[in-house]
Amino acid sequence: MKVNKVEMIMSAVRPEQYPETGYPEFALAGRSNVGKSSFINRMIGRKSLARTSSKPGKTQTLNFYEIEDQLYFVDVPGYGYAKVSKTEREAWGQMIEQYLTGREPLKAVLLIVDLRHDPSEDDCMMYEFLVHYNIPTIVIATKADKLKRGQIATNRKRIKKVLNMRPEDELIVFSSETKVGIEEAWKAIEKYR
């Protein structure tokens, strides 16, 4: 998809703040610093619409990006920050759970992981959660530019195995630096739209 029009339409914490257009939604999840904002910016062809490396302490909200009057990317605050308090973590969990489990227009979740490493415990927990609620998931393994070709193939298999991925879920090798994977990612999204 060639993206020309994008609007960051709103930040939401509660369901009554979610948009009401009914456009299909694709949520983006991943641990902090994995490269989620860079992924979003690359996909929509903007340098810095999605805030990169949002720090803890900032308001944790779901950010809805409306794309081409057709769909939304819903940026979910990153998980796995050691420094956030228990209360903050619980509030985060509640907001995410409410959105992911009760949102009719949500078509799939894009789970962003780091291709260089095994998925973290948090990554595995998130994936298990999505499986449990029967939510289609596209795994985006980013930072591919940091690896050699042979290593990419090895790590790709390893991530599928560690996450115990459902056969119907796709894993897409991606790089925000080289733009590798952009077309595959859009294609995967289109399948659920």
- Binding residues for ligand GDP, rule: CB under 6 A, are 30, 32-38, 52-53, 78, 142-143, 145-146, 175-177
CB of 9 to ligand GDP, least distance (A): 19
CB of 146 to ligand GDP, least distance (A): 5
| Spatial distance between the Cα atoms of 31 and 117, rounded to a whole number of angstroms | 13
Closer Cβ to ligand GDP, 38 or 137, answer by number: 38
CB of 110 to ligand GDP, least distance (A): 12
CB of 16 to ligand GDP, least distance (A): 27
Closer Cβ to ligand GDP, 24 or 80, answer by number: 80
CB of 93 to ligand GDP, least distance (A): 18
| DSSP classification of residue 57 | T
Closest C-alpha among 48, 64, 69 to residue 3: 69
Closer Cβ to ligand GDP, 38 or 60, answer by number: 38
Q: Do residues 37 and 91 touch, judged by C-beta distance below 8 A?
A: no
Q: Please provide residue 136's backbone torsions phi and psi, each rounded to the nearest 5 degrees.
A: -55, 140
Element (H, E) at 86: helix 86-102
Element (H, E) at 36: helix 36-44
CB of 69 to ligand GDP, least distance (A): 25
Q: Which residues of 66-83 are buried (b: 16+ CB within 10 A; e: fewer)?
A: bbeeebbbbbbbbbbbee
Closer Cβ to ligand GDP, 80 or 134, answer by number: 80
Closer Cβ to ligand GDP, 23 or 145, answer by number: 145
Closer Cβ to ligand GDP, 21 or 52, answer by number: 52
| Spatial distance between the Cα atoms of 68 and 46, rounded to a whole number of angstroms | 14
- How far are the Cα atoms of 10, 31, 39, 57, 183 from residue 66, in angstroms, in the given order? 9, 23, 16, 26, 19
